[in-house]
Amino acid sequence: MPAPDQPPEHPSRALVERVVRWFDGARRDLPWRAADRTPWGVLVSEVMLQQTPVVRVEPAWRAWMERWPTPSDLAAASTADVLRAWDRLGYPRRALRLQECARVLVERHDGAVPDDEAALRALPGVGEYTAAAVRAFAFGRRAVVVDTNVRRVLARAVGGVALPAPSPTAAERATATAVVPHDDDAAAAWAAASMELGALVCTARSPRCAECPVRDLCAWRAAGCPGDAHAHRRKTQAWHGTDRQCRGRIMAALRAADAVQGRDALGAASPDETQVDRCLVGLLADGLVVRTPEGYRLPD
């Protein structure tokens, strides 16, 4: 017990300290966490990890960084090569934004990733989360890093609910900000540790509560592990037969081709010809495909 003249320890302090201590022994050995990581490497990892699991990102990240270890290298690359290297990571517009980001870094920041939040937010494809993650993981700065995993950890441990609402709320943001330590090093450690806890232990479907370092502090467990109050609001994303699948097949065909592909050659992307045409229009609008008199190809 604390001495009579000392206030009791704030619950969030114990939460942070235990999760960080757990992380010291449980953290995955990922290349963008290595001691020789670069801010550019961290930024690339964060863009690749958006909606894509680590197991798919790690080999792609290694190949990418070997080929384009600096923003200047990527800025000078052909867009077709960039899209081929992105391969099946999904959402290939992220690859275009990453190359645009590299060009802006060369033009405005002498080819270096800035550590200022406003400057990071001004980069193509960099939003609030990515800017905060780069500040924390690349520069060791205090930032409020809140991804899906962190939201879930805080929803359970602090909020006492099974899962957070489908969209972030102002109350969530206030909670996340209040929990982050004021010290740069401690804040950066908490950002990485809380994210890892959500990814490995406090998972969405089958949380491994017996292995959780803060199970006795968890408000959700204290409440009896109630069910997901927002289950009826959550959308399930279909894949088979969707435009996303069709677009992916068109992009895969163009990445594999050594020459321009005619419209007939791309028809195998879907049995629905109207869907193929609709997806080609969308890919053209997104700058992922170029149309020529002979057919379609990746942009130069």
pLDDT digits (tens, 9 = 90+) for 171-217: 999 999 999 999 999 999 999 999 999 999 999 999 999 999 999 99
Q: What is the pLDDT of residue 232?
A: 82
Q: What is the pLDDT of residue 10?
A: 53
pTM to 2 decimals? 0.90
Q: What is the pLDDT of residue 234?
A: 78
CA neighbor of 284 nearest in space, from 273, 295, 271, 274: 295
Residues labelled catalytic: 46
Of the listed ranges 5-14, 88-97, 146-155, the least confidently predicted one is 5-14
Q: What is the pLDDT of residue 11?
A: 65
pLDDT digits (tens, 9 = 90+) for 32-50: 999 999 999 999 999 999 9
pLDDT digits (tens, 9 = 90+) for 20-36: 999 999 999 999 999 99
pLDDT digits (tens, 9 = 90+) for 211-263: 999 999 999 999 999 999 988 887 776 778 899 999 999 999 999 998 999 99
With a cut of 90, say whether residue 12 has pLDDT above it: no
pLDDT digits (tens, 9 = 90+) for 115-134: 999 999 999 999 999 999 99
Q: What is the pLDDT of residue 7?
A: 38
Whole-angstrom distance, CA of residue 290 vs CA of residue 274: 19
Q: What is the pLDDT of residue 156?
A: 98
Whole-angstrom distance, CA of residue 299 vs CA of residue 81: 9
